[in-house]
């Protein structure tokens, strides 16, 4: 879609990812009923295990939110899967690149 990114487009995309990171933090906190505020989730903090402490049930829930909100269907059998949930920023970048709405 945006393979030939113009120099002007680049900063806008990064800003998009930053905004999306905050938006996803809000969606995740709401969907999982977490005890933290969206601002507490650092963009590079791991979501799984030791970081935010999410498990696979949570990840499935986030996948649902992401499919409803952005039309992105996550797949576990892609190499990308572990990377996608490495952090909020990685998730935002993935959603930003694959969103259909």
Partner 1 sequence: MLAYRGGVPILVREFLADVARVGAALADGGHVLNVCSDRYHFTVGLAASLVAGKVSLLPSTRTPEVIAQLRRFAPDAFCLTDEEECALELPRVRFPASRGAAATAGAEVPRIEAGRRAAWVFTSGSTGTPVPHQKTFAGLLECMRVAAERLALTDGRSHAVVATVPPQHMYGFESSVLLPLVSGNALCAEHPFYPADICHALEAVPRPRILISTPIHLRALMAAGLALPATDLIVSATASLSTELAREVEQRCGTRLLEIYGSTETGSIALREPTRTAEWHLWPHVTLESRGEETFAQGGHIGQRTRLYDVIEPLGVDRFLLHGRTADLVNIAGKRSSLGYLDHQLNSIPGVVDGAFFHGAAAADGTVARLGACVVAPGLEAAAITAALRRRIDPVFLPRPLLLVASLPRTSTGKLPQEALRSLAAAQTKPSGAA
Residues making contact with partner 1 (CB under 8 A): 33-35, 37, 49-50, 53, 55-57, 60-61, 63-64, 67-68, 73-77
Integer Cα distance of 48 and 84 in angstroms: 11
At closest approach, how far in Å is the CB of 89 from partner 1?
A: 21
At closest approach, how far in Å is the CB of 95 from partner 1?
A: 14
Task: Tell how far CA 52 is from the center of its chain.
Answer: 14
At closest approach, how far in Å is the CB of 61 from partner 1?
A: 7
Distances (CA, A) of 74 to 11, 37, 67, 78, 85: 26, 25, 8, 9, 11
Both tokens assigned to 35:
């005890």
- Between 2 and 33, CB nearer to partner 1: 33
- Between 17 and 63, CB nearer to partner 1: 63
At closest approach, how far in Å is the CB of 72 from partner 1?
A: 10
The runs of H, that is alpha helices, within the chain are: 9-32, 56-70, 80-84, 88-98
């Amino acid at each position: 879609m945006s393979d030939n990114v113009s120099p002007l487009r680049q900063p806008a995309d990064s800003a998009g990812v930053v905004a999306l990171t905050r938006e996803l933090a809000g969606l995740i906190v709401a969907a999982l009923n977490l005890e933290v505020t969206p601002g507490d989730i650092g963009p590079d903090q791991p979501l799984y295990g030791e970081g935010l402490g999410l498990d696979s049930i949570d990840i499935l829930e986030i996948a649902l939110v992401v499919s409803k909100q952005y039309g992105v269907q996550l797949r576990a059998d892609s190499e990308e899967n572990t990377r996608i949930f490495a952090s909020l920023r990685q998730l935002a970048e993935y959603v930003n690149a694959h969103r259909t709405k």
